[in-house]
């Protein structure tokens, strides 16, 4: 059992935290963390919420509380506090002056992070330090890196960047909260060599036309589907850089890295028990992962009989490659406009004739995706085919009244029932059972 | 109903749903982008025709260049129908 501060003390901590306004040696932040422990002994073995703070304070808090408290809740801005009893809120307002001998403790701390659910209500998932740092790499080469932080450090992806920089004694350059053009300038100023960002963020950085001013050696994409065109563009711009895209599931606390510069991942990774992370494909063509380390959550993970969790990420196998298609429950991207299935379903259900509705994405060569719907009619044995056609027109009329054009289903199928997945959610995979 | 008429009917349906006004008459050399439908309109048209006819040539034939006239659009559907 180890913790962040103990891990950092094992080696020389030469890393520096840089922001647009200041620079701090990580070694100094460690000293500050010990001060907090000695000044706030009442927090030992307690649950602590780290409220939105500047990056320096956040790192000091993580150093102080991991291995000292029972749990750390990373509370991002604009997110409701976790519904936890005896939670101590920590906001770094008090000035630290007294230096007391460091408190030693071997407490195993759980780190809780919020994920934004489809309903907007955050879900909290807890991870051990070991699980969070399982994919962190150490090497002399990595020590020379300078990491750009573009993600909020309170979220899973951002925390990974912070931990990677801290644990490999690399520098960390915080550029969150700046416009893309300033982000690139700031990263160029501090000679950032390693950047992890979502494909959308990478596209924004590319649009500045100045990304090639950075001496990038490590390029990481995560959080969204990394399509081939973007990977190719980045590898052309930075032929010497290591190009990786990451798949991570916050719920399952697992992730894997694809490093061959190709979209998707090798088909042979499916159903291969010898891999560190076991992957499989469900009957609905969802990616299944086997949670490795125990994840703590108020909503228990739903596992199948083999211990796999459904990620709700739709995948497609083409030859020796598995490609991601999108979220089974997520928004439908109609030529850049996002249509939310729940919203369209509510409109459909407001039609008298409909008892159940399921809205999903339908592939379109022109717009990427279009909205499609399966509906179940209220039972009426006397219903005729011409009634069904009439009902369809009425439904479309209602949709036109309440929805934007791109949200109106382009295909409405009348079915006997709509499919639900094991978690009781509507199954929005794009295969409808035709009734008529 | 012949294929040409089916396509024209579907165009009318999509136009009504999209509050678009189709040009009259639509002839063989009428440019698709001047018919009155926008890109979402055409995506909706292709989806509607898939409903009516049971196939989507743009997916099935992996067409890379999009037709520019009504005649070209119709020809693609005829070709795909004969392949069915």
Q: Is residue A169 part of a domain?
A: no
pLDDT category of residue A376 using cuts at 50, 70 and 90: confident
- Same domain (yes/no): A23, A106: yes
Q: Which chain A residue has its CA at the smallest distance from B60's CA?
A: A365
pLDDT of residue A167: 93
- Same domain (yes/no): A253, A300: yes
Q: Enumerate the residues of chain A whose CB falls inside 8 A of the CB of residue B33.
A: none
Tokens for A225, please give them. Answer: 């589907």
The total domain count for chain A is 3
Averaged pLDDT, A316-332: 85
Which ipTM was obtained for this model?
0.89
- The helix (run of H) or strand (run of E) holding residue A98 is none
3-state secondary structure of A357: strand
- CATH number, position A200: 3.40.50.12780
HSE-up of A125 (CA within 13 Å, CB side)? Answer: 22
CB of A400 within 8 Å of a chain B CB? The answer is yes
pLDDT category of residue A300 using cuts at 50, 70 and 90: low
- Please give the residue that has the higher pLDDT: either A179 or B77: B77
Candidate from A363, A400, A410 with C-beta closest to B44: A410
Q: Is residue A7 part of a domain?
A: yes
Cis upstream peptide for B25 (omega within 30°): yes
The 10s digit of each residue's pLDDT in A2-42 is 899 999 988 888 999 999 999 999 999 999 999 999 988 88
The 10s digit of each residue's pLDDT in B42-61 is 889 999 999 889 998 887 77
Express as a percent the part of chain A with pLDDT over 70. 86
pLDDT of residue A431: 44
Q: Is residue A39 part of a domain?
A: yes
- Please give the residue that has the higher pLDDT: either A268 or A334: A268
Q: What is the residue range of A378's domain?
A: 332-414
Residue A285 has pLDDT above 50, yes or no: yes
HSE-up of A213 (CA within 13 Å, CB side)? Answer: 14
Q: Which chain B residue has its CA at the smallest distance from A406's CA?
A: B40
Q: Nearest-CA distance from A337 to chain B in Å?
A: 11
What's the Rg (C-alpha) of chain A?
25
Of the candidates A135, A214, A125, A128, the residue with the CA atom closest to the CA atom of residue A167: A135
Dihedral pair phi/psi, residue A75, rounded to 5°: -100, 105
Q: Which of A76-80, A88-92, A102-106, A250-254 has the lowest mean pLDDT?
A: A102-106
Express as a percent the part of chain A with pLDDT over 90. 41
| CB spacing of A411 vs B63 below 8 angstroms | no
pLDDT category of residue A169 using cuts at 50, 70 and 90: very high
pLDDT of residue A220: 93
- Same domain (yes/no): A340, A321: no
The total domain count for chain B is 1
Q: Enumerate the residues of chain B whose CB falls inside 8 A of the CB of residue A411.
A: 47, 50-51
pLDDT of residue B61: 72
Point out the domain boundary residue: A145, A164, A199: A145
Q: Is residue A164 part of a domain?
A: no
């Amino acid at each position: 059992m180890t913790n962040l501060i103990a891990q950092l003390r094992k080696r020389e901590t030469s890393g520096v935290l840089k922001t647009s306004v200041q620079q701090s040696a990580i070694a100094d932040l460690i000293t500050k963390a010990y001060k907090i422990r000695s000044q706030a002994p009442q927090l030992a073995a307690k649950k602590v919420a780290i409220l939105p703070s500047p990056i320096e304070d956040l790192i000091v808090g993580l150093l102080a509380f991991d291995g000292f408290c029972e749990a750390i809740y990373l509370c991002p801005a604009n997110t409701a506090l976790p519904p936890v009893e005896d939670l101590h809120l920590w906001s770094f307002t008090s000035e630290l002056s007294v230096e007391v001998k460091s408190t030693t403790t071997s407490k195993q701390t759980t780190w809780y992070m919020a994920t934004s659910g489809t309903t907007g209500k955050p879900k909290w998932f807890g991870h051990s330090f070991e699980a969070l740092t399982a994919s962190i790499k150490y090497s002399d080469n990595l020590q020379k890196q300078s990491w750009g932080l573009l993600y909020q450090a309170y979220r899973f992806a951002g925390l990974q960047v912070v931990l990677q920089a801290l644990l490999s004694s690399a520098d960390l350059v915080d550029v969150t909260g700046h416009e893309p053009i300033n982000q690139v300038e700031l990263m160029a100023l501090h000679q950032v060599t390693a950047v992890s960002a979502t494909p959308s963020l990478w596209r924004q950085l590319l649009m500045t036309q100045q990304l090639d001013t950075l001496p990038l050696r490590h390029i990481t994409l995560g959080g969204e589907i990394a399509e081939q065109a973007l990977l190719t563009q980045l590898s052309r711009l930075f032929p010497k850089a290591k190009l990786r895209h990451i798949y991570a599931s916050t719920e399952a606390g697992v992730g894997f890295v694809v490093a061959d510069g190709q979209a998707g991942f090798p088909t042979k990774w499916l159903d291969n028990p010898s891999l560190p992370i076991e992957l499989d494909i469900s009957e609905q063509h969802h990616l299944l992962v086997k949670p490795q380390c125990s994840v703590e959550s108020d909503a228990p993970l739903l596992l199948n009989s083999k211990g796999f969790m459904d990620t709700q990420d739709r995948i497609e196998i083409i030859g020796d490659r598995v490609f991601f298609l999108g979220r089974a429950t997520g928004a439908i991207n109609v030529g850049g406009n996002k249509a939310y299935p729940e919203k369209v379903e509510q409109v459909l259900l407001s039609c008298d004739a409909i008892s159940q509705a399921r809205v999903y994405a339908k592939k379109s060569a022109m717009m990427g995706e279009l909205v499609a719907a399966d509906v179940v009619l209220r039972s009426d044995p006397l219903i005729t085919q011409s009634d069904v056609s009439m009902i369809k027109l009425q439904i479309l009329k209602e949709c036109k009244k309440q929805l934007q054009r791109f949200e109106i289903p382009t295909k409405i199928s009348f079915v006997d029932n709509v499919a639900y997945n094991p978690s009781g959610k509507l199954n929005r995979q794009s295969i409808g059972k035709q009734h008529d | 109903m012949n294929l040409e008429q089916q396509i024209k009917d579907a165009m009318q349906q999509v136009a009504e749903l999209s509050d678009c006004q189709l040009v009259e008459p639509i002839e063989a050399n009428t440019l698709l982008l001047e018919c009155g439908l926008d890109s979402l309109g055409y995506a909706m048209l292709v989806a509607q025709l898939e409903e009516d006819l049971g196939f989507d040539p743009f997916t099935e034939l992996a067409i890379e260049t999009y037709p520019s006239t009504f005649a070209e659009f119709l020809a693609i559907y005829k070709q795909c129908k004969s392949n069915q």
